[in-house]
Amino acid sequence: MLEVKDLHVTVEDKVILKGLNLTINAGEVHAIMGPNGAGKSTLSAVIAGKDGYEVTQGTILFEGQDVLEMEIEERARAGLLLGFQYPIEIPGVKNIYLLKAALNAQRAARGEGEIPAPEFMKLVREKSTDMKMDPSFLQRAVNEGFSGGEKKRNEILQMLILQPKLAMLDEIDSGLDIDAMKVVADGVNSLRNADRAILLVTHYQRLLNHIVPDHVHVLVDGRIVKSGGKDLALELEERGYDWVLEESVA
Amino acid sequence: MSAPERFLERLTARRGGDPSWVAARRQAGAARFEAMGFPTRRDEQWKYTDVRRIAEGDFALATDAEFDSARFDEQRLDIDAYRLVLVDGLFSPALSELDGLPSGVSIEPLSQAIVANHEAVGGSLGRLAGVDFSPFTALNTAFADEGAIVRLASGTVVDKPIYVLLLSRANGQPVMSHPRILIEAGARAEATIIEHYSGESEAANFTNVVTEVLLDRGAIIDHYKLQEAALTDLHVASIHVDQGRDSRFNSYNMNLGGALVRTDLVTDLNGEGAEAAYNGLFFVQGRQHVDNHTLVNHNAPRTFSNENYKGVLDDRSRGVFNGKVFVKKDAQQIEAYQNNANLLLSDRAEIDTKPELVIYADDVKCSHGATTGQLDEDAVYALRSRGIDEPMARALLTLAFVGEVMDKVRLNVIAERVERAVAGRLPERFNLADLVETAEAIQEA
Residue A176 has pLDDT above 60, yes or no: yes
Cβ contacts of A12-16, under 8 Å, gap ≥ 24: A12/A52, A15/A222, A16/A42, A16/A53, A16/A222
Distances from the Cα of B170 to the Cα of B87, B110, B201, B289, angstroms: 11, 24, 7, 20
pLDDT for B438? 58
d(CA B380, CA B74): 34
Domain end: B233, B251, B271, which one?
Answer: B271
d(CA A10, CA A57): 10
Cβ pair B442:A124 closer than 8 A: yes
pLDDT for B18? 82
Closest alpha carbon to B71 in B196, B169, B163 = B169
pLDDT for A159? 96
pLDDT for B112? 92
CA distance B395 to chain A (A): 10
Cβ pair B441:A120 closer than 8 A: no
Distances from the Cα of B137 to the Cα of B31, B118, B292, angstroms: 12, 21, 16
Q: Which of A93, A104, A114 sits opposite B400 (nearest CB)?
A: A93
Contacts of B437 in chain A (CB under 8 A): 117
Closest alpha carbon to B126 in B185, B48, B212, B199 = B212
Contacts of B423 in chain A (CB under 8 A): none
pLDDT for B437? 58
Query: For the residues A39-52, what does the mean pLDDT come to?
Result: 92
Name the residue type at position A193: N
Q: Report if residue B368 sits inside a domain.
A: no
Name the phi and psi angles at B402, rounded to 5. -85, -10
Name the phi and psi angles at A75, rounded to 5. -65, -45
pLDDT > 70: what percent of chain A? 99
Q: Report if residue B428 sits inside a domain.
A: yes
Q: Report if residue B249 sits inside a domain.
A: yes
Q: Report if residue B58 sits inside a domain.
A: yes
Question: What is residue A136's DSSP assignment?
Answer: G
pLDDT digits (tens, 9 = 90+) for B394-430: 888 988 899 889 889 999 889 888 887 887 644 443 4
Paired with A169 in beta bridges are A83, A200
Domain end: B271, B291, B326, which one?
Answer: B271
Cβ pair A90:B438 closer than 8 A: no
Cβ pair B387:A90 closer than 8 A: no
What is the enclosing helix (H) or strand (E) of A210?
helix A207-210
pLDDT for B426? 43
Q: How many structural domains comprise chain B?
A: 2
Question: What is residue A138's DSSP assignment?
Answer: G
Residue A134 has pLDDT above 90, yes or no: no
Question: CA-nearest residue of chain A to B430?
Answer: A101
Q: Report if residue B296 sits inside a domain.
A: no
Cβ pair A88:B378 closer than 8 A: yes
CA distance B403 to chain A (A): 6
Q: Using beta carbons and an 8 Å cutoff, which residues of A are at the interface with B?
A: 48-51, 71-73, 76-77, 81-82, 84, 87-88, 90-94, 96-98, 100-102, 104-106, 108-109, 114, 117, 120-121, 124-125, 135, 138-139, 141-142, 158, 162
Q: Touching check for B123 and chain A: CB below 8 Å?
A: no
Q: Report if residue B211 sits inside a domain.
A: yes
Contacts of B386 in chain A (CB under 8 A): 76, 81, 98, 102, 105, 158, 162
- The number of residues in chain A equals 250
pLDDT for B422? 81
Distances from the Cα of B103 to the Cα of A192, A229, B106, B155, angstroms: 70, 84, 8, 11
Contacts of A94 in chain B (CB under 8 A): 439
Q: Report if residue B366 sits inside a domain.
A: no
Cβ pair B388:A102 closer than 8 A: yes
Domain end: B244, B271, B298, which one?
Answer: B271
Residue A96 has pLDDT above 80, yes or no: yes
Q: Touching check for B371 and chain A: CB below 8 Å?
A: no
Q: Touching check for B387 and chain A: CB below 8 Å?
A: yes
Are residue B394 and residue B267 in the same domain, yes or no?
no
d(CA B309, CA B324): 12
Q: Touching check for B430 and chain A: CB below 8 Å?
A: yes
> How many residue pairs bridge chain A and chain B with CB atoms within 8 Å of each other?
111
Give me the sign of the Cα torsion angle B183, B185, B189, B190. Answer: positive
Contacts of B445 in chain A (CB under 8 A): 121, 125, 135
The DSSP line for A87-126 is PPPEEEEEHHHHHHHHHHHHHHHTT--PPPHHHHHHHHHH
pLDDT for A203? 84
pLDDT for B445? 55
Q: What is the mean pLDDT of chain A?
A: 92
Which pLDDT tens digits describe chain B residue by residue (445 residues)?
Answer: 899 999 999 998 776 778 888 888 999 999 999 999 999 999 999 999 999 999 999 999 999 999 999 999 999 999 999 999 999 999 999 999 999 999 999 999 999 998 887 777 778 888 898 889 999 999 999 999 999 999 999 999 999 999 999 999 998 899 999 999 999 999 999 999 999 999 999 999 999 999 999 999 999 999 999 999 999 999 999 999 999 999 999 999 999 999 999 999 999 999 999 999 999 999 999 999 999 999 999 999 999 999 999 999 999 999 999 999 999 998 999 999 999 999 999 999 999 999 999 999 999 999 999 999 999 999 999 999 999 999 889 888 988 899 889 889 999 889 888 887 887 644 443 444 555 555 556 555 5
Are residue B265 and residue B408 in the same domain, yes or no?
no
pLDDT for B442? 57
Domains of chain A, CATH where assigned = 2-249 (3.40.50.300)
User: Whole domain around residue B432: which residue ranges?
Assistant: 382-445
Contacts of B389 in chain A (CB under 8 A): 73, 105
d(CA A115, CA A97): 13
Choosing among A82, A84, A90, which should be mutated to test the B contact, i.e. which has the most B CBs within 10 A? A90
Q: At what angle do helices A178-191 and A148-162 cross, to 10 degrees?
A: 10
Question: CA-nearest residue of chain A to B426?
Answer: A101
Contacts of A88 in chain B (CB under 8 A): 376, 378-379, 382
Q: Which of A73, A124, A141 sits opposite B388 (nearest CB)?
A: A73
Query: For the residues A125-142, what does the mean pLDDT come to?
Result: 88
What is the enclosing helix (H) or strand (E) of A72?
helix A72-78
Q: Report if residue B322 sits inside a domain.
A: no
Q: Which of B382, B389, B438 sits opposite A88 (nearest CB)?
A: B382
